[in-house]
Structure 1
Amino acid sequence: MYQPLADKIRPKTLDDVVGQRHLLGENGLLRRVIESGSIPNLIFYGPSGVGKTTVASIIAQQTDRKLYHLNATTAGIADIKAIIDELDTFLAPNGALVYLDEIQYFNKKQQQSLLEFIETGKITLIASTTENPYFYIYNAILSRCTVFEFKPVEAADMRRAVERALKLAMGEDAKPVEDGVADYIAQAVGGDVRKALGAVELLVSGAGADGITLADAQQAAQRSNMRYDRDGDSHYDILSALQKSVRGSD
């Protein structure tokens, strides 16, 4: 069965996670919460490919709890109830962490239905969203969760992930890698680790006689340094930046 490179090298410990040092560094609050073993209900907010799912998996491993991964675009309250039915069985002896990806796609009624399970303590909820949770998640959920913001991964940290991925993907059949490939990918993917690993996988599978070239990398990792959305946070951030630049100009 085919396994994407991003899954093959998914970090197993907090020290292996690239980026998010403000949360997971030596004195980061989220790190200290995880290491305490007492996990509250959490909301992870940030762009795609920055480690939200990975950190949820590490929390489950370190607290010896089963992780149920649901996506709000396809899941419903019936899926949550099915998880509850398993909790008193051998399948989840230490309780369960429910990772609900893209929670903003749950409507108000669905989000309110989560309260029943959160308040009884039967599940620990870790929800993720790429949208501002204070606009898209209802107050009753927000008041029972702690929000942590994940940021795009900086290029210096991204390079570590790219080099590790190149080494693993090539295996023993190592092919030459032109200078600048790792740096280009790290800069070009806009802080998205998943996109970087996808580019590495494409380059390795399509490597020619000359190995992996910078020209190939420039095609595989099309530049996406600027994040923009039509009506989300980035839209207003860019408008604010434009307004400030005009105000400060002559």
Structure 2
Amino acid sequence: MTLSYDVAGDGPTLVLIHSTVCDRRMWDPQLPVLTAAGYRVIRVDLRGFGDSPMPDRPYNNADDVADLLDELGIEQAALIGSSGGGRVAIEFAARLPQRTTALALLCTAVADHEPSARLRAFGEQEDALLEAGDVAGATELNVTAWVGPHADDATRELVRRMQRHAFEVQLAPVAEEYGSIKKDVDLAAITAPCLLVSGEHDFADFHDIAVRLSKELAGSRHVHLDWAGHLPSMERPEELNPVLLDFLRETVPAH
């Protein structure tokens, strides 16, 4: 298995998929709470993040998650995804609805979203910094863009370390670079109940995505947090964790 991961707890399985600004360490504030509530928690590092290496062949993130569950002998799981990790969770749930018990999507991306002018400008600025070799500048740009105003200094520093590490892994010279395999995603195929979370201090794109998905996904609900930026699970875990637990207890109760 290519992906690095860890497993903790016993009970119904939850798979936590990180934002592409972070790695699986972003879920540190959720791990003890979810395991104490009676869940088995699997945290993964997608390829090129955390402890997972860059791909050595064409790949697909949702397939990677499915392969990991196969390796662990797990037939079904609830998926909790943040931002780009939410996009992976959506694809998994659409392509493998029979294996998905619930979806919790925090400030999620989605494959067919057309970015706003503000989000495009961010991407262009990041690209320019990286092309100039200014990895530190690109890292700071991401910390400023994605971490909300209520995060403490320790949280900002952890995001800084995770993003810097991801850049270092992804920008390192490799013999050959492999892209991800794009697969069709039919949102209408998703049958799992879905929690959508958005933040007031985030890019408007992610609120718009949550509103759209709340209309398109049957059995979904949208919670908008007036204090949150793009990473509510890190910014104020003491307020986000009860929202997650209430949803999970209703949809995949621990025995």
Q: Quickly name the TM-score band, shorter chain normalised.
A: under 0.3
Task: Say which one has the larger Rg.
Answer: 1
Under a length normalisation based on structure 2, what TM-score does the superposition of the two structures give? 0.27
Structure with the bigger percentage of strand: 2
Under a length normalisation based on structure 1, what TM-score does the superposition of the two structures give? 0.28
